[in-house]
Structure formats: structure tokens, C-alpha cells
Structure 1
Amino acid sequence: MRYGLGGRPARWMHRRALPAGLTFTLLVTAAACRPDLTPPGAPTSWPTSSARHWQWQWQLDGVLDPDVEADVFVLDPVGTTAAQTAELRSRDRRLVCQVHIGSVRPTDPDASRYPARVRGATIARSGRVWLDVRRWDVLRPVLADRFRLCRGKGFGAVVFADADGYDHRSGFALEFDDQLTFNRRVATLARSLGLSPGLLGDLAQVAALAPDFDFAVNEECVRLGRCDKLLPFVDAGKPVFHVEYTGDTTDFCVTSVGYGFASIRKNRTLDAWRLPCPSP
């Protein structure tokens, strides 16, 4: 599954500035920053001492490259095999499955489980269809099975995509509080099935939702000038996995690592290529 989020540039950005002339150096080895692997059947833990030191990979397209030097892999649970996750786990990688909780693609294996009454407008850029997140009775069993698929393949965490239908022309009269209630319900559901929940995008609700989630994934907050919105995660010692699709790492890493994010440069297709920012 491919995924991308747009955002509206903020009029200002609070920046935690790094000292002038800072040069990045690795103060700790990757092995020193990587805690013990979480055993199968338990949700992934995110020690606060490691929050600023994770290296991560986000791959949803192309042949999976298990040799990427990253501690955390965000992957498609349908396209990724149990053999692939087993290989990554044998290398002490932490695995996050990406699940679209607020939309469905017509070609998804479980698309037929979403009746017409909960399907709304089509997202032009992806062909996905927004869902009526007020219908928890309909969406819950489908999402539970998606999470069980993740758990069964060896993932210990899940990140929620399209968790902001209220902020788009979804085809439903969704309110801010409708989305908050739904996102919290899904986080609780994920935990009940042995998965650590993470939030992708939905910056306008981060301040309210940060206590309910263990980590965040963000796209292009430096380019859009919205990185300050993610500080509730950082202040709580929770990791923020951040990606930019344009710009030079020598420029945006100063900002993102200064905020305390784990940052990389990626192609928008989210193939195997990545260019990481050094650890702080």
C-alpha cells in the first residue's frame, strides 16, 4: 500500500534550535542504542532512553531490502511475508505494520466487508475511499482482523494511516470529536491485540492524542513548517519517525534532529532507498 499525506503550512514554527555550526557525530553505536528484542506475542516497547536514537526505514513499494541499517521497519502487512518478518526479527529489528484505519482501497482483500453505507468520497491521489468512522460497530471487526494479520506475521506495532477524515472532504459530516473518539478506540483495540499503536499525520489532534499513542510517524513537517505540532510526543519521551521527500539532509536534519526526531529522506514511492539523518 502506498501512502502520502498533505498538510497546510503553518504561519509560524517554534524551533528548538541547535547550536550554530553544529556537526553531527554518532555518540553511541547502534548496538548500544538498541534494547533487547521484544518477545513474540508482546507489543513493541519504546524505551524513552532510545527515543532520539532510532534509525528507521519505511518501505511500502518494491522488493523488501532486509539489509538496510535500521532498527525500525514500517511495512505493508499484506505484502510482507511471515518469512520476511522472521528474518528481520532475527536481526533484532522492530516491526511496524501500516494499516489504513479511516479508508479502504477497492482492491484491498477485505474491501467487501465495508458496506456501501460506510463508504464516502474517493481520495483522488490514491483511489482510496473514506470511511464513516462513527460506525464503530461496522469498522471494529474489520480492523481487528487487520491487526490480527499484523500480529500473526510477527509485527509488534501498528501505525494508523488516514486517521484524519474529519479534516478532509470525506463525504460524511465528521466532527473533530468523532475522529478523536475513533482514533482512541482503535488505539485501545490495537493494544488489546498485542500491538503498540502509532499515529501517522493528524497533526491537529496530536496534543489530544499523544497520551493514547506510543509513537508518531510524520511526513514533511520541516517543509510544511509544522514540526512543533509533534512536540507532545517528544516531551513525553516517545519516538517521532519523520520523513522528508525533498531537500538536502544537511539542511532539514538540523531542524528535525534538533526537535528530537528520527529523520530520513525518502522517495515518495516509499521504495527501499533511504538517506538517514545521523543520530544526535
Structure 2
Amino acid sequence: MRIGLGWQRAQWLRRALSAGLAVTLLAPVTACRPEITPSGTPTTWPADSARHWQWQWQLAGVLDPAVEADVFVLDPVGTTAAQTGELRSRDRRLVCQVHVGSVHPDDPDASRYPERVRGVTSTRTGRTWLDVRQWDTLRPVLADRFRLCRGKGFGAVLLADADGYDRRSGFPLEFDDQLQFNREVAALARSLALSPGLLGALPQVAALAPDFDFAVNEECVRLTQCAKLLPFADAGKPVFHVEYTGVPADFCVTSVGYGFASIRKNRTLDAWRLPCPPP
């Protein structure tokens, strides 16, 4: 009987030691992964990970949740809560893209924008520029758009069309009008537990970098404008960059050298992507 008990005790100790070794071996791997922000809180962007994010920007086609990316920039209207839930289960960071300076006839809330804040309609995009000086009118609509993002599980918001002053908007918008509006929208996002990001608007990057947590840029290598995004990179904030032409081997040397997370995409922003290797 004693021999049987001794054998069982030895087996138990062997299994315990094996389990402890497995935990020890796995611990460093787990520690190296950035922790995903819990649902209901704004996304965090650890500065020591800024150069290492892999990202995906998809606004068209069937969402591919299996893409090997840490960060997904998506359309909050077309993306379902089930899809965001699946991505969050994979520890992905989710960013909803919201057009804050324009409205499209197909937007579900288009009727909430009165005619007095509507300007010129772009023939290329079909979007109508808004008078960003009318904050009291625009704020409630934008707040509800952000609440939609938050309700679907997004932790960050990318502000698109935040440069109407630099376009033929139909309004006499000045640089400072846009600057004030962009800061107000960023503050609104934070008040609703969303991390704000800036799309484009390169002439205002130096002034706005302290107000935003990340930036998204299109074709800064082709247009030789990457240096304008250094206020984000130098502050340890991620810059997510895309090129629509060329091959990664050509533009990655430049963009990764600046510290950006870069990919090659189709202009339609479907699921296809070619990422630059991390540094």
C-alpha cells in the first residue's frame, strides 16, 4: 500500500513540476504582448509599442477578422457588434472612422444636418462639407456617432475630413476655425471614452499632435511629406501609414525609418493588404 501511495505522490509531483515549467516558459511571451484595453474604456497606445503595431484599414468588402494586425480601422455603421466582439476576442484594437467635417446622403443621420451648415458637395466623394464654426449644431450629431462607436465596442475614433478649411467647402473657413473645431472634437471623443486619432490634415499636425493619440496618413512617401508627421512619432504616438502604389520594399525603408506602421492597400480599402515588416 505504501508503495502505491509513493508512486502516486511521485506522479503528482512530476505533473506539478511540468505545469510550473510550462507557466515559466510562457510568462515572458505573455508579458511582451500589449494588454488590450477593457471594453468601455478608451484605447491606450503604449509608447514602447508605437513602432511595432501592425494595422489594417478596411472600409469595403466582407470584413476579414483573420488578418494578422493588432489595429483595425473600420466603418462603425457597416461593422456589427458581433464582428467587433470577435476581433476583441483576438485582442485587436478597434478604431471607428467618423467623417466629422462632412456628410454623405447615405449617412443614416444625414437629415440631422440643417441646410445652413451644408456647403459644397465634392464631385469625387459625394460628401458635402460642413461649416465647422457651428459647433453647437454639429456637436449633438457627432456625439451620437461616437456613442455608436462606443456601443459597438470600439475604443478609438479616427477623425476624417478634418481639413475643410483647406478645401472648397463653400464657407470662409480659416486655419484657426479648423484648429478649434478639431480640438473640440478630440475633447468630445475623450469625454465619451474614445481615443482620438487624426486622418490627414498635415498642415495642422504640429499644432494638434498634443490633442490626439495617433495619426493616419495616406501616401506621405509618394508625396514626400512624411517629415510632417514627426510630431506624433517623436512623442511616441503611433503613425499608421498607407501607400496605394509601389511595393513595400520600395517605401518601407522610408516610412519604417520614420517609425511608422506602414502597409500597401487598394484605394477601395478592401481586405487586401501588404504590410511592411516591423523594425
Alignment of 1:10-89 (within 5 A): 34-89=33-88
**Secondary structure, in 3 states, of the residue corresponding to 1:194?**
coil
Aligned to 1:142: 141
Q: Deviations over 1:167-189 (max 9, x none)?
A: 00000000000000000000000
Q: Given the superposition, is the C-alpha separation of residues 30 and 266 from structure 1 closer, same or farther in structure 2, using an over 3 Å criterion?
A: farther
Q: Deviations over 1:145-166 (max 9, x none)?
A: 0000000000000000000000
Farther-moved stretch of structure 1 (32-41 vs 262-271) = 32-41
Q: Given the superposition, is the C-alpha separation of residues 231 and 239 from structure 1 closer, same or farther in structure 2, using an over 3 Å criterion?
A: same
The list of structure 1 runs, each at least 4 consecutive aligned residues, that deviate by more than 2 angstroms after superposition, is: 29-34
1: CA distance, partners of 2:105 / 2:42: 30
Aligned to 1:107: 106
Which structure 1 residue ranges, 5 or more long, are not aligned? Answer: 1-28
Aligned to 1:179: 178
Q: Deviations over 1:260-279 (max 9, x none)?
A: 00000000000000000000
Alignment of 1:1-280 (within 5 A): 34-280=33-279
**Secondary structure, in 3 states, of the residue corresponding to 1:223?**
coil
Letter in 1 for 2:193: G
2: CA distance, partners of 1:190 / 1:136: 14
2: CA distance, partners of 1:221 / 1:178: 25
2: CA distance, partners of 1:34 / 1:245: 30
Letter in 1 for 2:42: P
Q: Given the superposition, is the C-alpha separation of residues 61 and 33 from structure 1 closer, same or farther in structure 2, using an over 3 Å criterion?
A: farther
Say which structure is richer in helix.
2
1: CA distance, partners of 2:92 / 2:276: 18
Residue 124 of structure 1 deviates from its aligned partner by 1.7
Give aligned pairs, total.
252
Residue 123 of structure 1 deviates from its aligned partner by 1.3
**Secondary structure, in 3 states, of the residue corresponding to 1:117?**
helix
| Pairwise CA RMSD | 1.2
Q: Deviations over 1:127-153 (max 9, x none)?
A: 000000000010000000000000000
Point out the structure with max Rg over C-alpha. Answer: 2
Residue 44 of structure 1 deviates from its aligned partner by 0.1
**Secondary structure, in 3 states, of the residue corresponding to 1:57?**
strand
1: CA distance, partners of 2:30 / 2:271: 22
Residue 34 of structure 1 deviates from its aligned partner by 3.4
2: CA distance, partners of 1:167 / 1:45: 30
Q: Deviations over 1:182-222 (max 9, x none)?
A: 00000000000000000000000000000000000000000
Which structure 2 residue ranges, 5 or more long, are not aligned? Answer: 1-27
Letter in 1 for 2:218: E
Letter in 2 for 1:37: I
**Secondary structure, in 3 states, of the residue corresponding to 1:257?**
helix
1: CA distance, partners of 2:200 / 2:185: 15
2: CA distance, partners of 1:34 / 1:268: 31
Letter in 2 for 1:270: L
Q: Tell me the TM-score normalised to structure 1 length.
A: 0.89
Q: Given the superposition, is the C-alpha separation of residues 125 and 32 from structure 1 closer, same or farther in structure 2, using an over 3 Å criterion?
A: farther
Letter in 1 for 2:121: T
1: CA distance, partners of 2:84 / 2:31: 23
Higher relative contact order (CA 8 A, sep 6+): 1
Q: Given the superposition, is the C-alpha separation of residues 31 and 204 from structure 1 closer, same or farther in structure 2, using an over 3 Å criterion?
A: farther
Letter in 1 for 2:88: R
Residue 125 of structure 1 deviates from its aligned partner by 1.1
Is the 1:34–1:50 contact (alpha carbons within 8 Å) kept by the matching residues of 2? no
Q: Given the superposition, is the C-alpha separation of residues 30 and 47 from structure 1 closer, same or farther in structure 2, using an over 3 Å criterion?
A: same
**Secondary structure, in 3 states, of the residue corresponding to 1:106?**
coil
Between the two proteins, what is the percent identity of the paired residues? 83
Q: Tell me the TM-score normalised to structure 2 length.
A: 0.89
Residue 107 of structure 1 deviates from its aligned partner by 1.2
